[in-house]
Amino acid sequence: MRNLIWAGLALIALPAAGLGLWLRTQLEYPQYGAGR
């Protein structure tokens, strides 16, 4: 049961961490996002 909770946390935390890192790069280095 505990493994299921950890798996759920990982599924939520990993994309959230990736999104946070992406947002931080967009804010700190806006020229990288200008090519899109």
Residue type, 17: A
pLDDT at 32: 62
Q: CA 23, 29, 34 angle in degrees (round to 5)?
A: 90
The predicted structure's pLDDT at residue 34:
59
The tens digit of pLDDT for each residue in 1-36 reads 899 999 999 999 999 999 999 999 888 876 665 555
Rounded CA-CA distance 27/15 in Å is 18
pTM of the model: 0.52
| Residue 9 structural domain | 1-32
Please give the tally of structural domains in the chain.
1
Output the pLDDT for position 26. 83
